[in-house]
Chain A
Amino acid sequence: MLESLQYLSGGFALATTFQNLLYCLIGAVVGTLVGILPGLGPIAGIALLIPATFGLNSTSALIMLSGIYYGAMYGGSTTSILINVPGETASVITCIDGYQMAQKGRAGPALAIAALGSFVAGSISIFGLVLLAPPLADAALAFGPPEFASLMVFGFVVLSNVTGSSLVKALIMAVVGLILGTIGMDPVSGNARFTFSSAYLLGGIEFVAVAIGVFGIGEILVNAAKPAEQLEQHALVPRFRDLYPSLDDLKRSIGAILRGTGIGFGVGLVPGPAPVIATYASYAVEKRLSKHPEEFGKGAIEGVAGPESANNAATQSAFIPLFVLGIPFGPVTAILLGALLIHGVTPGPLLIAENPQLFWAVVASMYIGNFILLLLNLPFVPLFANMLRVPKRILLPLVMLFCLTGMFSVNNSVLDMWVMLGFGALGYILRGWAYEGAPLLLGLVLGPKLEVAFRQSVMISHGDFGIFVDRPVSLALLLATAVFLLLPLVKRAVRSLRRKAPPPAGETGASAPAQEEHR
Chain B
Amino acid sequence: MTAVIALFVLGCMTVLFALRLSVGTLRAPDSGFFPLVLGVMLIALAVLQGVQLHLAARGAKAQAPDEPRSQDSPWRVALFFGVVALATALFDTLGYVLVSFLLMLGLLQVLGLRKWYVSGLIALLSAVAAQIVFVHWLKIPLPEGLLAF
Query: When A179-B35, A193-B21, A433-B65 are in contact, do A228 and B29 touch as well, CB less than 8 Å?
Result: no
Question: Are A179 and B39 touching (Cβ within 8 A)?
Answer: yes
Most chain B Cβ neighbours within 10 Å, of A228, A408, A454: A408
Question: Are A394 and B142 touching (Cβ within 8 A)?
Answer: no
Closest Cβ of chain A: how far from B47's Cβ, in Å? 10
Question: Are B68 and A432 touching (Cβ within 8 A)?
Answer: yes
How does the 8 Å CB contact mask read for A172-189 relative to B, with 1 for contact and 0 for none?
A: 100110110010001011
Minimal Cβ-Cβ distance residue in A for B43? A175
Q: Which of A412-444 contact B (CB under 8 A)?
A: 412, 414, 417-418, 421, 424-425, 428-429, 432-435
Question: Are A421 and B88 touching (Cβ within 8 A)?
Answer: yes
Query: When A175-B45, A458-B29 are in contact, do A225 and B87 touch as well, CB less than 8 Å?
Result: no
Question: Are A404 and B35 touching (Cβ within 8 A)?
Answer: no
Chain B hits for A375, CB < 8 A: none
Question: Are A178 and B29 touching (Cβ within 8 A)?
Answer: no
Q: Which of B67-88 contact A (CB under 8 A)?
A: 67-69, 71-74, 76-77, 80-81, 84-85, 87-88
Question: Are A221 and B80 touching (Cβ within 8 A)?
Answer: yes
Query: When A189-B31, A401-B126 are in contact, do A168 and B45 touch as well, CB less than 8 Å?
Result: yes
Minimal Cβ-Cβ distance residue in A for B140? A409
How does the 8 Å CB contact mask read for B126-143 relative to A, with 1 for contact and 0 for none?
A: 100010001000111110
> How distant is the Cα of A404 from the Cα of B86 in the complex, in angstroms?
12
Closest Cβ of chain B: how far from A218's Cβ, in Å? 11
How does the 8 Å CB contact mask read for A65-84 relative to B, with 1 for contact and 0 for none?
A: 00000000000000000000
Query: When A225-B76, A394-B113 are in contact, do A414 and B92 touch as well, CB less than 8 Å?
Result: yes
> How distant is the Cα of A178 from the Cα of B39 in the complex, in angstroms?
10
Chain A hits for B34, CB < 8 A: 182, 451, 454-455
Question: Are A225 and B74 touching (Cβ within 8 A)?
Answer: yes
Selected contact of B140 from candidates A394, A396, A405, CB within 8 Å: A405
Closest Cβ of chain A: how far from B15's Cβ, in Å? 10
Q: Which of A206-231 contact B (CB under 8 A)?
A: 221-222, 224-228, 231
Q: Which of B19-72 contact A (CB under 8 A)?
A: 21-22, 25-35, 38-39, 41-42, 45-46, 48-49, 52, 63-69, 71-72
A: interface residue count bin: 35 or more
Question: Are A432 and B67 touching (Cβ within 8 A)?
Answer: yes
> How distant is the Cα of A221 from the Cα of B72 in the complex, in angstroms?
10
The answer to whether the Cβ of A462 comes within 8 Å of any Cβ in the partner chain is yes
Which residues of A line the B interface, CB within 8 A?
Answer: 51-52, 55, 165-166, 168-169, 171-172, 175-176, 178-179, 182, 186, 188-189, 191, 193-194, 221-222, 224-228, 231, 392-394, 396-398, 400-401, 404-405, 408-409, 412, 414, 417-418, 421, 424-425, 428-429, 432-435, 451, 454-455, 458-459, 462-463, 465
Q: List 3 tightest A-B contacts by C-beta distance, closest first.
A: A463-B27, A397-B107, A432-B68
Which residues of B line the A interface, CB within 8 A?
Answer: 2-3, 7, 10, 14, 17, 21-22, 25-35, 38-39, 41-42, 45-46, 48-49, 52, 63-69, 71-74, 76-77, 80-81, 84-85, 87-88, 91-92, 96, 100, 103-104, 107-108, 110-113, 122, 126, 130, 134, 138-142
- Residue pairs across A and B with Cβ atoms less than 8 A apart, 26 shown, are A165-B63, A169-B64, A179-B35, A186-B31, A191-B22, A221-B77, A224-B76, A224-B80, A224-B110, A225-B73, A227-B71, A397-B111, A397-B126, A400-B103, A400-B107, A401-B126, A404-B88, A405-B96, A409-B134, A412-B141, A421-B84, A424-B81, A425-B81, A432-B69, A432-B72, A434-B66
19 other A-B residue contacts (CB within 8 Å) besides A165-B64, A224-B80, A397-B126: A51-B140, A172-B42, A175-B42, A193-B35, A221-B81, A224-B76, A394-B113, A397-B108, A404-B91, A408-B91, A408-B140, A412-B141, A421-B84, A432-B67, A432-B69, A435-B3, A454-B34, A455-B34, A458-B26
